[in-house]
Amino acid sequence: MHPPRPVVSQALLVVMAIVFGLQQLWPEQMLAWFGLWPDVGPIRVGFVDGVPIFAQFETWQYLTHGFLHGGAAHLLMNGLALYMFGSLLELAWGGTRYLVFFLACVVGGGLMQAWWIGVPTGNEVSVTLGASGGAFGILAAFALLFPRHKVLLLIPPVPMPAWLLVTLFAMASTVMGITGLMPGIAHFAHLGGLLAGLLLYVLVARNWWQPGQVPAARRMPTRPED
């Protein structure tokens, strides 16, 4: 019998890669249709064959912005988070629950970023895109499920327990979002996804753990009470 595979996590990575490829073919159209825009009326994104492309806020963008990325590095970082942490959560929860959780965190990130931006004016109008809200929500749930599991950061390469990593990420996103440090990054989308992940875990996802469905060969970290 073959061990279960995190097929939803893998499918999400494939979809994001395909969407990123479509962005290279039709950058203005993909950004206008699927990026998360503030509700300020039509916004000119660019021109295609001399025809202006306009964007405006649509409700579906709270979800679709999570599948667009601003560059290969942006895609790689979010994809790495889904691969490292999302795969384990999927094996613990099951694919359907994991998918719903991820999408809800993407929406949560979009909602908080939209709330923080409010109604921008002039050159302050910007688009939000990326799966970071979903990735932060997944990381938050992972830290609650496996708080003492050691995580090795790329920069700096210092191992630390998952709970500490999430705490540092939350503090950094809050400070940078409020102060405006590192502009061009949707810090409050990160926070919104993280808070959505924490809330969903406390309300429902803490009861999703099913140790028997995860084979030992997957090397799942163990919960503190195990």
Sequence-ordered alpha helix ranges (H) in 26-149: 27-34, 61-64, 72-81, 87-93, 95-117, 132-145
In a domain, 225, yes or no: no
In a domain, 214, yes or no: no
- What is the CA 116 to chain-centroid distance, rounded? 17
User: Across-strand partners of 79?
Assistant: none
In a domain, 154, yes or no: yes
Percent of the chain exceeding pLDDT 90 equals 46
User: Across-strand partners of 51?
Assistant: 48
In a domain, 25, yes or no: yes
In a domain, 28, yes or no: yes
Asked whether the beta carbons of 111 and 164 are under 8 A apart, the reply is no
Sign of CA dihedral 187, 190, 193, 194: negative
Q: pLDDT tens, 168-201?
A: 888 888 888 787 777 778 888 999 999 999 999 9
Structural domain count, the chain: 1
In a domain, 216, yes or no: no
Q: Give the Å distances, CA to CA, from 50 to 9, 46, 47.
A: 40, 9, 5
- What is the CA 45 to chain-centroid distance, rounded? 24
Q: pLDDT tens, 94-120?
A: 999 999 999 999 999 999 988 887 666
CA 14, CA 81: separation in Å to the nearest integer? 14
In a domain, 138, yes or no: yes
Which residues constitute the domain of residue 101? 7-208
In a domain, 223, yes or no: no
Residue-by-residue DSSP string for 150-210: EEE-SSS--EEEHHHHHHHHHHHHHHHHHH--STTS-HHHHHHHHHHHHHHHHHTGGG---
Q: pLDDT tens, 23-77?
A: 999 999 999 999 999 888 888 888 888 888 898 999 999 999 999 998 999 999 8
- The CATH number covering residue 116 comes to 1.20.1540.10
Q: pLDDT tens, 141-170?
A: 999 988 888 887 666 677 888 888 888 888
